[in-house]
A and B are shown apart, each in its own frame.
Chain A
């Protein structure tokens, strides 16, 4: 059971530490922590807290990518779940609210999974449908307004704390732990990787590739709805227009940083979360350094390209060639 450090985590871990150190260099208070009202505060905690929604999304995305798929709809699913939770929060008991929001996410995931696995539509296209229509559905739920709520139960998911740690952080960590336990503790991870590496061969080997594929999209929908609840709870409201906007791209970026091949076949849950944290640490660093937040997109673009170039088979071939020549 390889629950512990993944085999190839070193570049990501060092990248995270380097980004944190840069943040420390631009803002000496970066590592300062203080305890207030039984909850830890500080920039470092903020990185984890703000990074939680994207980390949750990337936990879902990483398994989808491992099956050679992609889920573009996670941002829209976030918006739907957030809209449902915020709309129901003040009139319904908390369990009903949570069930409705999570149920919506599961249904969205099931829809995506059926399109990909049963109707055999390419993942990009299949999830594009929900990406376009989902935001419309979310706006339908909120009737185009920004819905606010006061329910303390739901608000706890954004601003509460457990043992001094913010709830989003604890939630993400537990989702990671449970997922890692289930996926890596059983043969499930292997089956997912096999499906991504070669769906046909896996099917011939007796793997239920269809069920595996549906399951990863359902899982992704579930993670997206959790992220939607956290995001709605964080701002005590739901904005169907902007909730989760662009976050599908951040989640894909996190998965790419984690070193998962977009062509499927290998993945690491822990590194996907780390990828999301690296992105958030960069965002925080850019803000702390006094740069305009507009730099974020440019920096992200450069990071994507560098990571992809580093992964490119052509380039690694070049490296081997150069090493041989110099030897």
Chain B
């Protein structure tokens, strides 16, 4: 039960927040708002899935926002200027992103450099590369884009669950299975718990580190595709600062930034929570957009403080029952 406490708290806070919103604006209960919540936060959600893996493994990936920016510019140029079929362009950009992440993972592992600084360099590199491709905002007019944005799953009550929303749900599902039900996922937890003992257990630390960062960048590329579908354009300045929103969503979802602990469902709630704040501010109309940042910051603080408190409590109770020798 205590294992799930952070996720339960996040869920409770989300339910409470949603109830407050719904009391003030009854429209919040319509499927239209719910479907839009999923569509508008699809790219953030996909990034957060990758970030959950990275953070649980004890690392951090600051490059994801830049990879999204790079992907949108690359797709706009590939489809509009170089006349590459959209699906082929998608595959190409996913390949580039995955290789990019794998390289960062290899640098982190091979040269024992802190993930923070390596992915910081990756962030500069990917953003710089997208600036070099183009600094203009390029519209994408491929027929596929129109077809995808026209298609939606109709929900009772007028909601339209768009393709990008569906992609996010699928990614969350796949990410949850990979993290919680496969050997790879268990090894990710082990890495976050203790790298040295993971290595001593016979798990290839290097291969897993490379795979985790490759996965994160692959999902960042996918998120870039979703962002490109969502905005039908490519712009090198898109998704600036999104890496922080992503980390915030993962932390609000109850994942421990020291690694070794977290749930995919928590991340999902964390993403929805950020979407909820934004939607509330849109509904209210009098509040300015910067309140999003302030409320996110306050939430971030509240959840981190809560984590620290539960950790301290757990440690105290362990000390109390030290004879049993159990760790939280």
Contact = CB atoms under 8 A, between A and B. Distances in A.
B146 interface: no
B304 A308 contact: no
B81 interface: no
B103 to A, nearest CB: 10
B127 interface: yes
A70 B116 contact: yes
A140 interface: yes
24 contacts: A115-B301, A119-B308, A121-B304, A121-B305, A122-B257, A125-B251, A125-B257, A126-B304, A128-B248, A128-B300, A132-B297, A133-B298, A134-B297, A137-B290, A143-B288, A249-B123, A249-B124, A292-B131, A294-B135, A295-B128, A297-B124, A302-B125, A308-B113, A315-B111
Residue from B107, B116, B128, B251 having most chain A Cβ neighbours under 10 A: B128
A125 B297 CA distance: 11
A296 interface: yes
Contacts of B135: 292, 294
Contact of A139 (B111, B118, B290): B290
Interface string B93-126: 0000000000000010011111011101111110
A119 B297 CA distance: 16
B125 A308 contact: no
Residue from A132, A249, A314 having most chain B Cβ neighbours under 10 A: A132
A130 to B, nearest CB: 7
Contact of A129 (B114, B117, B121, B304): B304
B131 A297 contact: yes
B258 interface: yes
A124 interface: yes
A153 interface: no
Contacts of B244: 128, 131-132
B128 A144 contact: no
A268 B20 CA distance: 52
Interface in A98-122: 115, 119-122
B25 interface: no
Interface of A: 70, 115, 119-122, 124-126, 128-137, 139-140, 143-144, 240, 249, 252, 256, 262-263, 292, 294-302, 304-305, 308-309, 312-315
B129 interface: yes
Nearest to B118: A308
A137 B297 CA distance: 10
Summarize B's interface: helix, strand, loop or mixed: helix
A130 B244 CA distance: 11
Given A133-B294, A256-B117, A299-B128, 4 more contacts: A136-B293, A139-B288, A263-B114, A294-B132
Contacts of A133: 293-294, 296-298, 300-301
B293 A301 contact: no
Nearest to B258: A122
Interface residues of B, number: 44
Contacts, number: 126
B291 interface: yes
A252 B120 CA distance: 10
A302 B292 CA distance: 34
Contacts of B121: 301, 304-305, 308
Contacts of B120: 249, 252, 304
Contact of A298 (B114, B132, B297): B132
B60 interface: yes
A129 B300 contact: yes
A312 B304 contact: no
A117 to B, nearest CB: 13
Contact of B129 (A70, A124, A298): A298
Nearest to A111: B301
B257 A314 contact: no
Residue from B120, B131, B301 having most chain A Cβ neighbours under 10 A: B301
Given A249-B124, A298-B125, A314 B258 contact: no
Contacts of B125: 297-298, 301-302
Interface in B269-309: 288-294, 296-298, 300-301, 304-305, 308
B301 to A, nearest CB: 5
B247 interface: yes
Contacts of A298: 124-125, 128-129, 132
A126 B107 CA distance: 26
Given A139-B288, A298-B124, A298-B125, A132 B300 contact: yes
Contacts of A129: 297, 300-301, 304
Given A298-B132, A309-B111, A140 B124 contact: no
A125 B247 CA distance: 9
Nearest to A136: B293
B113 A128 contact: no
A128 B116 CA distance: 13
A238 to B, nearest CB: 14
Contact of A144 (B110, B117, B131, B290): B290
Nearest to A135: B293
A272 to B, nearest CB: 16
B290 A301 contact: no
B247 A128 contact: yes
A122 B114 CA distance: 14
A292 B132 CA distance: 9
A111 to B, nearest CB: 10
A78 B116 CA distance: 22
B116 A308 contact: no
Contacts of A115: 301
Given A140-B294, A301-B121, A132 B116 contact: no
Closest 6 CB pairs of A and B: A133-B297, A136-B293, A297-B128, A294-B131, A298-B128, A139-B290
A132 B131 CA distance: 24
